[in-house]
Structure 1
Amino acid sequence: MEWHDAAAGFAAMGSEARLQVLRVLIRAGQAGLTVGALQDRTGMAPSTLAHHLKFLAGAGLIGQARDGRTVLNHADFDRLRDLADFILKECCADVAGAAANDG
């Protein structure tokens, strides 16, 4: 993952409202939720929720699939894992290096 891709993904999670929507979708699993179900679980107004869904989808954090007149929204677990891996890939690297130098 490139730095600009990671930055865009983390920026999309940079608001409490979008983070709330994302967590609700993560809890729902692969099946996802309709916009109506998301409204019920978040208490957001339709226009506000639509704005946040558009932002999350644009960053690739969620996917949306039409089923007739219904749109199902789901977390993109692969993208979320990529972001987690990006931020954690060098976890404790300096500590391990310092320990080797102390030996």
Structure 2
Amino acid sequence: MESKAVIEALSALAQETRLAVFRMLVRCEPDGMAAGDLAKTVGVPANTMSVHLNVLSRAGLVSSTRHSRSIVYRADLDRFRALMTFMLKDCCGGRSEICAPLIADLVPCCPPKETVDG
């Protein structure tokens, strides 16, 4: 990821409503959420939500799909992963005692379920 794209993504998230919307969309994966439902849940007018979603979309953090008369938004987890990877790349300069606690905090709260073969 290039620095310009990182700055745009971080700028998009540096606003309270957009950050809340993005976090909500992450929780709604993989189904996403309709723009109208997002506006109601966050408590902002639909036109204001539209502006916020456009900012997040331009930053590549969300994508949208039209379903009948509504537009469903989803968090772009690949783009977010690239953003976080960029931020943490060589975070410790080879000194694992610096980044080990940070990496430990990033362990997901819901680890993947192990599959049992036959």
Q: TM-score range by the shorter chain?
A: 0.7 to 0.9
Q: What TM-score comes out, normalization by structure 1 length?
A: 0.87
The code of the aligned residue for 2:54 comes to: K
* CA-CA distance at 1:67 after TM superposition: 1.4
1:60-93 residue CA offsets vs partner (Å, 9 max, x unmatched): 1000001121110000000000000000112111
Which residue in the other structure is 2:9 paired with? 9
Question: Cα RMSD (Å) of the superposition?
Answer: 1.4
Q: Which runs of 4+ in 1 moved over 4 A?
A: none
**Aligned mates of 2:19, 2:64 — CA distance in 1:** 17
**Aligned-residue identity in percent:** 35
| In 1: Cα distance, 2:5 partner to 2:34 partner | 27
**Higher RCO by CA contacts (8 Å cutoff, separation 6 or greater):** 1
- Equivalenced residues, count: 96
Residue segments in structure 2 that go unaligned for 5+ positions in a row: 97-118
Specify the alignment match of 1:100 in structure 2: none
Structure 1 gap segments, 5+ residues each: 98-103
Counterparts of 1:77 and 1:90, CA distance in 2: 21
